[in-house]
Amino acid sequence: MKFQHYGDIDIIFDGEGTLYLKNGKEYDVSFAIAKHNEKALLFNLASESIDPFKALSLFGTKLNKLEGLDKKGRKIKATGLLSKDSTTDGDTNSITIVNGYVSECKIGELNIESGFSVHFDLTNFLFLGNETKIEQSDRGKRYSRSILKLSFDDFYCRIEKAENYSTVAQLLKRQGGVLKTSTLIVQIDNYDDYKSSFEKVRKLCQLLSVARSTFINWGSCKVFDTEGKVVYEFHGQAQSRNYHGNNLIKDLPNETVKFLKKAWIEYDQYKELLDLKRVIYGYIDTFQNSYVETRCLNIAALTESICSRWAIHEKRYLFIDKTKFESQLPKLNNSIEKALRKEFSNLNDSHKQIMLNKVTGFNRRPLDWKLKRLRKAFNCPITDEEISRFVELRDNLAHSSLFPENTDNTDAFLFMRHFLDRIILRILDYKGTYFDMEERKQTILQVKNS
């Protein structure tokens, strides 16, 4: 068996089993699951009972799951299958080979006992540890700060650098991409511990992504028993982005821990209210795009989303009660239409109607007002002049996809980047040193006493 034209891959396992379709059909297959550059989870299957000329039309989105045993006798279950291409073995054409993507794959049986641990493979997280690890080599003992221990009220873990960390770190800094850099380890005693660890690790990855200004995530995890044997594996099609190396929080253990301690608490407080999960994903996405106008539009949209959610929370999103305003809207429309006819008698009817369609927006409070309310609520170190400049940039980009005349595109982007950075840091209640993208230097987030 072999994967077709995917380049370098890391095969997780291969085995024998059954392919199940959603229409009830079943096929005996040989199959393998592999990772492609930590970004994609792939499947490859081969079968003599599948018509090669009908393979893709037969499957498409009709695939249900793969089940079977690998060569070690472990149970395998792969779900969320999407076929991409099919071919034959090239010799006798008697075997059909199908390649595609897998949403998730489970290996082994999940029977957890006290003292077990779950290991999550992290991608794109570069760090300095706060604990020394002693390693034996031909030259004797070697000491390295390769472990980062993190402790919160409801979660404890340690992160250990991968064996090839130095090489991977240089590859990421010079070429970008998505690479495994470390392993996050959590002790578990039961199934509830195992399930809760997923949400805690996802939360931690999001906060680390803010600190490092790049998308950090995990795609695979393994459960180890008390003797260090792998008893279960879970591999998923993880979200990922290419490495982007501009640390918002300085890459020192004490700085990282200081940020995480505050952010861990504040995240839960505003998780639902501000939809922080999506906000942080959106925040990291503002680093990715070569077209500077698009990046600035993303920053503007995310900023407005945050302050609008806060205005709705304060019940200050509208000037007038919605029901009352809408009840008077026909009269308002009629009055404005009469004024337009009187003042602009030659106005095209279609243009007039477009103008009247904007009347419903009269009741929404403007962006600068909402930004000032957000600034007050979170004690953001942003001036009135900066708010006015941000709104001007946003308006020009939203209506024309262009910056105002005589505006340097790079300066505008760095200003908007820094504007959003301070909002995110204050929502997470951070006070301390951070990297000012506008001035390109480390500085202290100046916050007035609340």
From CA 35, how far away is CA 44, in angstroms rounded? 11
Strand ranges for 63-216 from DSSP E: 63-70, 75-88, 96-108, 116-123, 131-137, 140-152, 155-161, 180-188
pTM equals 0.89
Task: Give the single-character DSSP code of 364.
Answer: B
Name the token pair of 250.
Answer: 């300085």
**Phi, psi of 5, deg, nearest 5:** 60, 40
Neighbours of 322 (CB within 10 A): 10
Q: How far is Cα 381 from Cα 339, in angstroms, rounded to an integer?
A: 43
Q: At what angle do helices 409-427 and 292-313 cross, to 10 degrees?
A: 30
Angle at CA 281, nearest 5°, toward 153 and 163? 70
Our CA dihedral for 7, 10, 13, 15, rounded to 10 degrees, sits at 10
Cα–Cα distance, 382 to 386 (Å, whole number) = 6
pLDDT in tens, the chain (450 residues): 567 667 778 888 889 999 988 888 888 999 999 988 777 889 988 888 877 666 666 665 577 889 999 989 999 999 988 888 777 776 666 788 888 889 999 999 999 999 999 999 999 999 999 988 777 666 767 777 899 999 999 999 999 999 999 999 999 999 988 999 999 999 999 999 999 999 999 999 999 999 999 999 998 999 999 999 999 999 988 788 889 878 999 989 999 999 999 999 999 999 999 999 999 999 998 987 678 999 999 999 999 999 999 999 999 988 888 888 888 888 888 888 888 888 887 888 888 788 888 887 787 889 999 999 999 999 999 999 999 999 999 999 998 889 998 999 999 999 999 999 999 999 999 999 999 999 999 999 988 765
Q: What are phi and psi of 436, to 5 degrees?
A: -80, 105
The CA-atom distances, in angstroms, between 200 and each of 17, 43, 126, 205 are: 34, 29, 19, 9
Residue 155 makes CB contacts below 8 A (sequence gap 6+) with 186, 200, 204, 264
Amino acid at 253: P
Using CA atoms of 425, 429, 434, 435 in order, give the dihedral in degrees to the nearest 10. 10
Measuring CA to CA, how many Å separate 75 from each of 108, 140, 232?
A: 5, 42, 10
